[in-house]
Amino acid sequence: MNGAHIHLAVNHLPIVGVIIGALVLMAGMILRKQQVSLTALGIFIFSAITAMIANFTGEEAEEVVEEIAGVTHKMIHVHEEYAETFLVITIILGVISIATIYLAKKKHKLVKIGCIAALILSLAAIFTGKLTGTSGGEIMHTEIRE
C-alpha cells in the first residue's frame, strides 16, 4: 500500500460522516431526542478524526500522483485548498461536538445552542466536503473533469 492508496481508503469517511451526522442531528432535534443528537455529535467527532487522517495522508498521495501524466500542480493545489478549509471546519465541528456532549453530561442549558451550532457547521462542512471530494476526484477521474 502506498500513500495514495491509504488516502483513498480514508478520504471518504469524513465527508460521508458529516452528511450522516447532519441527518442524525436533524432527526434528533426534530424528535427532541437528546440521545439521538448526542449520537450525531459522536459521528462529527469521528468525522473530525478521519479528516485529520485524510489530510495527513494527502501529502503522500500527492507525491504518488504528481508524477502521473495528465495530473497538474494546479489540480492538486485546488484540492489542497478545499481540503484545508474542510479540515478546519470539521475540526471546529468536532470541538463543538465534544463541548456539547460535555454540557449535556452536566445537564447545562446550552446544549440546544451547541446542537444548533453543530448543525450549521455541519452544513458548511457538507458544502466544503463536496468541493474537496469533487476536486480530489478530478485529479484521477478524467470523466468528471469539466
pLDDT, tens digit only, all 146 positions of the chain: 777 888 989 999 999 999 999 999 999 999 999 999 999 999 999 999 999 999 999 988 888 888 888 888 899 999 999 999 999 999 999 999 999 999 999 999 999 999 999 999 999 999 999 999 999 988 887 665 66
Which domain, by its residues, includes 40? 3-144
CA dist., res. 135 & res. 81, Å (int): 10
Number of domains making up the chain? 1
Q: What is the pLDDT of residue 140?
A: 82
pLDDT score recorded for residue 44: 98
Residue 107 zone, left/alpha/beta (φ > 0; ψ -120 to 50; rest): left
Task: Find the Cα–Cα–Cα–Cα dihedral 103, 104, 109, 115, rounded to 10°.
Answer: 90
Q: What is the CA radius of gyration of the chain?
A: 17
Q: Which residue has the cell 495530473?
A: 71
Rounded to whole angstroms, what are the CA distances from 37 to 13, 43, 44, 125? 20, 10, 11, 17
